[in-house]
Amino acid sequence: GVGPSDASPDEGVVEDLPLIDEKAVEQLTEGLISHYLPDLQRSKLALQELTQNQVVLLETLEQEISKFKDCNCILDINALFSEAKRYHNKLVNIRNEMMMLHEKTSKLKVSGINI
């Protein structure tokens, strides 16, 4: 014969489950949603505000970075001008030396010494 060990383990389980009350499930769902939804909506608004603030912060940082880049360009230009000034001074000194040498050679020519 068929003993208790021959019966399927799932046999009889369906009959043991209580009937599910759809209205109760709906009310529990609504209760759960109404409990958590306000907090979730506040969190959503806070995250949106945070995201907007981050966008503003990023734009401000980009502006500051471009200012620093402009400063670096100005420093480069200043270095270029000071280098140009240095070379100009060298040229002025060379010209003065050449004029002095020209005067000396002219005096020597006047004295009758051929160079």
- For 3-54, the pLDDT digits (tens) are 555 555 555 555 555 677 888 899 999 999 999 999 999 999 999 999 999 9
Which residues, in sequence order, are CB contacts of 115 under 8 Å at separation 6+?
105, 108, 109
The percentage of the chain sitting over the pLDDT mark of 90, rounded to a whole number, equals 55
Q: What percent of the chain has pLDDT over 70?
A: 82
The whole-model pTM stands at: 0.43
Which H or E element spans position 99? helix 22-110
Which tokens is 54 given? 């981050």
- Residue pair 108/115 in contact (Cβ under 8 Å)? The answer is yes
